[in-house]
Amino acid sequence: MSDPKEAAKRLVGFAAVDRYVEPGMCVGLGTGTTAYWAIKRTGERVAAGEKLEAIVTSAATERLCGEFGVPVVPFMSRDIDVAIDGADEVAPDWALTKGGGGALFREKAIAIAARRFIVIVDDSKVVDRLGRFPTPVEVVPFTLPWVEREIAARFPHAKATERIRDGQPYRTDNGNAILDCAFGTIPDPRALAATLQAIHGVLDVGIFLDLADAVLCTADSGVRELTKA
């Protein structure tokens, strides 16, 4: 593989599947460029004869599962043994920013439901504090003007921007809008998430707390397992 960054992502995605997925398991599969490699590796193991099933975080992931031959079953049709997904930021205490790919609500549902949640990232996503990457907030479209007003009132220095894709307002697989909110460095992710979640019209916030069971990260030596602070 000519792209060193993609090669490193491949290593970490494959490592997560090979370390944590056993035959017969139901695997939660995430969305994004690093999760892609976990999906591909799961497909390779199915092709080799292992019985595995997946519960997916997005329509895009479901399409990839179809491409790679991974059987997909509905959410909660069986227990999720392990979920594997990427992140936009990982703090030392394993607080996460997620939702850059637009699947944050379903990603959180699967992370909560899984017996174990394994996060896979490249080393550029490891931060001292959340906030370098904008915080995605999923919003019911009817309430978008209200949510924008409330965020502006509560966080005067923040910038909330509706996500646009291909010149059109972006809509999640749930039919909702996303506000990408630049708060700057976030000293208290728990308080911020609670404040945002309390605004009527906010479906979910792309801050994931107390969910990760392990974090695998790209490294010069291959794959590094992070230690939780």
Q: Which residues are catalytic?
A: 107
Q: Which helix (H) or strand (E) holds 207?
A: strand 207-208
Spell out the alpha helix ranges (H) of the chain: 4-20, 35-47, 59-68, 104-113, 144-154, 189-197
Rounded-to-integer distance, Cα 121 and Cα 144, Å: 31
Query: In a 3-state reduction of DSSP, which class is residue 162?
Result: strand
Q: Which two tokens stand for residue 63?
A: 């399409």
Give me the amino acid identity at 7: A
CA 111 to chain centroid = 9
